[in-house]
Structure 1
Amino acid sequence: MKSFFQWQADVLVLNVLGCPGARQDAIGKVKGNQLKISVTALPRAGRATDHMVRFLATQFGVARSDIEVVFGRMNVNKQLRIKAPTTLPDCIQRVPVTPPGVANRA
């Protein structure tokens, strides 16, 4: 993946650089081919990843069960699959990418 995200039909595949133990939960800036996501949870037995999934579910307007951790549950480098997000953060909206099967009206 050249970008930090790509569409696979209605699924958003997202490469993440997790930053546990932060002061607040936040979606940060793009770093290379990863999106920095800070969470307040500490990195203990996957709890920070679980917290990240809960946080991102609200940010993307999906249920927690619609987010799959493909790899990196116990690592800061992760890949997530988000099924049919209803809301997109600004950093994704600014990139002109149309999901396959959707007509481009530009």
Structure 2
Amino acid sequence: MSGWYRRNGGVLTLTLHIQPGAKRTDVAGLHGEALKIRLAAPPIEGRANEALLKFIAESFGVPLRQVELKQGGQSRHKVVAITGSTVEPESLLG
């Protein structure tokens, strides 16, 4: 069990550290107790959050409606809940 995610029934909760405005969107590895994700989107008008949720949905093989930003809307530190994914979070670390 790692500190950056937890599974509770069908819901997977991720603790993320976001770096907006990067060259491309990808997983940068672990950052303390969080998974660091670089986003190509700028942190303007919710665009980074939108890009993040899309990236998470694609990475975990679920529709966008099954990914929810639980906290950290204005922060680099975010908590995201994913419903119904069978993807193991460790697989993102490649």
TM-score, structure 1 length as denominator? Answer: 0.79
Q: Is the 8 A contact 1:66 1:82 kept in 2?
A: yes
Which position in structure 1 is the counterpart of 2:51?
A: 51
Deviations 1:37-95 (A, max 9, x none): 111000012110111101111110001110110001121100000101133352579xx
Separation of aligned partners in 2, 1:18 and 1:82: 17
Percentage of pairs with the same residue:
28
Separation of aligned partners in 2, 1:22 and 1:92: 18
Letter in 2 for 1:52: L
TM-score, structure 2 length as denominator? Answer: 0.88
Structure number, greater radius of gyration: 1
- Uncovered stretches (5+) of structure 1, i.e. residues with no partner: 94-106
| Residues matched between the structures, number | 92
| Greater strand content | 2
Which position in structure 1 is the counterpart of 2:7?
A: 7
Q: Is the 8 A contact 1:15 1:77 kept in 2?
A: yes
Q: Is the 8 A contact 2:27 2:92 kept in 1?
A: no
* 1:83-102 equivalent positions in 2, closer than 5 A: 83-89=83-89, 90-91=91-92
User: Which of structure 1's runs of 4+ aligned residues deviate more than 2 A?
Assistant: 86-89
Separation of aligned partners in 2, 1:4 and 1:33: 5
- Uncovered stretches (5+) of structure 2, i.e. residues with no partner: none
Which position in structure 2 is the counterpart of 1:36?
A: 36
Q: Is the 8 A contact 1:62 1:86 kept in 2?
A: no
Separation of aligned partners in 1, 2:86 and 2:39: 22
Q: Is the 8 A contact 2:29 2:93 kept in 1?
A: no
